[in-house]
Chains A and B, each alone.
Chain A
């Protein structure tokens, strides 16, 4: 299995008459965490959505490369894991049910033990695993959202403000996760938090 790199070239996005992104280019590759930063409204999340293929850019193109070839857009989702503020997990389901459902969709047989281990490593105590996510605090929910992004060991990891709502221990757990993925996956983090920005090897600064 070869590594995946994501190249993006001349990305622009408009919402109505408002231009959010203009001429943004760069590359994601294993071994170099890319940090995207910029003031609120500068288009960090928009850029991540475009890179993940859930938003179509007005200008420019995104290319996923593997070995010598490119990956068609409809298969991008199989490569990537994303955690973002605009992505929720199912409130009516428990943490375990959420992870089992998302794993089954990806054709994985994730065992209860694997899921429990992952949730533990992110600091969600075992007694909470079988309660509906709707009863969680925002920090606990954030941990499930991060777990959901890595349940399938993605080759491209996209984190949008990953340690928002998290305490110091939660922040450290995410930092450990990023360190773990840095070597084997293409990682991008969108953030304004200087502690998260310090994870980056490369940086894109978006302006308003």
Chain B
């Protein structure tokens, strides 16, 4: 009975998120500040030469994903928490299909995550002297990891926004869901650093793509209940 599609409504939500983020910059500031602070601390205190050559691929990958994960955690819950804080949640609930809301918020969080990665990863590689032998592999991991990370974070943000909206709860609920992903990403990034070509990262990439797929399917199935109850 309606003329517009889920996609166009989702894009309307995305557009609203972007406009309102550009005017308030709450999530962006939180993420960038966190990322820059940790990045500088790590680079200053550990730097390129503190870690033994053999340990570098694995340890540096782990550090990178820890920075990315916690920077993302500091901002990605805003997307739903701000609606409840500003009491606009009910307005949105009564105007949009749940699927459109989730789609828009998901795309917005994905944009934030990818922006975070584009800023942090080159800086990190430069500051830590990390030479990546398979840049293409790393890019694919960052893309897939960004999708999976924002998918998990978005649905958990939806849950905690309806609970108490606390950032602590967001992290508590996210850690068990995202830990497998982080482990896979760290392994895959280690492989991309040490070996040429795409084939070394493929096992990790396959796992990440299926994890992202499962999370997305579960999110769209669960979201109407999370959003409306």
- Which residues of A are found within 8 Å of B87, using beta-carbon distances? 86-88
- Are A89 and B2 in contact, with the CB atoms below 8 A? no
Asked whether B20 lies within 8 Å of A92 as measured between CB atoms, the reply is yes
A53 contact set on B, CB distance < 8 A: 228
Interface residues of A in 78-131 (CB under 8 A from B): 78, 80-82, 84, 86-93, 97, 101-102, 104-107
A148 near B91 with CB under 8 A, answer yes
Which chain B residues (80-120) contact chain A, with CB distance < 8 Å? 86-88, 90-98, 100
Asked if A54 lies at the interface with its beta carbon under 8 angstroms from chain B, I say yes
Interface size of A by Cβ–Cβ distance < 8 Å? 29
Dominant secondary structure of chain B at its interface with chain A: helix
Bound-complex Cα distance A5 to B78 (A): 37
Say yes or no: A105 contacts B2, CB within 8 Å: no
Q: Report the nearest B residue to A82, measured CB to CB.
A: B94
Q: A54-B94, A78-B2, A92-B19 are in contact. Are A101 and B88 (CB under 8 A)?
A: no
**Cα distance A74–B100 in the bound complex, in angstroms:** 13
Q: Which of B8-16, B46-54, B125-133, B170-178 contacts A (4 or more CB under 8 A)?
A: B8-16
For the complex, give the distance between the alpha carbons of A102 and B12 in Å.
9
Nearest residue, chain B, Cβ from A91: B86
Residues on B with C-beta less than 8 A from A47 are none
Collect the chain A residues with CB atoms within 8 Å of residue B96's CB: 77, 105-106
Whether A104 contacts B90 by the Cβ 8 Å rule is no
A65 at the B interface (CB under 8 A): no
Q: CA separation between A60 and B62, bound complex, in Å? A: 53
With A54-B93, A93-B20, A105-B100 as contacts: A88 and B86 at CB distance below 8 Å: yes
> Is A56 an interface residue, CB under 8 A from the partner?
yes
Q: Are A105 and B90 in contact (CB under 8 A)?
A: no
Q: Of the candidates B8, B20, B228, which one forms a contact with A54 in the assembled complex, judged by CB atoms under 8 Å apart?
A: B228
The distance in angstroms between the C-alpha atoms of A32 and B72, with both chains bound, is: 52
Q: Does the CB pair A101–B12 fall under 8 Å?
A: yes
Q: Is B224 an interface residue (CB 8 A)?
A: yes
By beta carbon, the residue of chain B nearest A104 is: B12
Interface residues of A (CB under 8 A from B): 52-56, 74, 77-78, 80-82, 84, 86-93, 97, 101-102, 104-107, 132, 148
Cβ-closest 7 pairs across A and B:
A107-B4, A107-B2, A88-B87, A105-B96, A104-B12, A92-B20, A92-B23
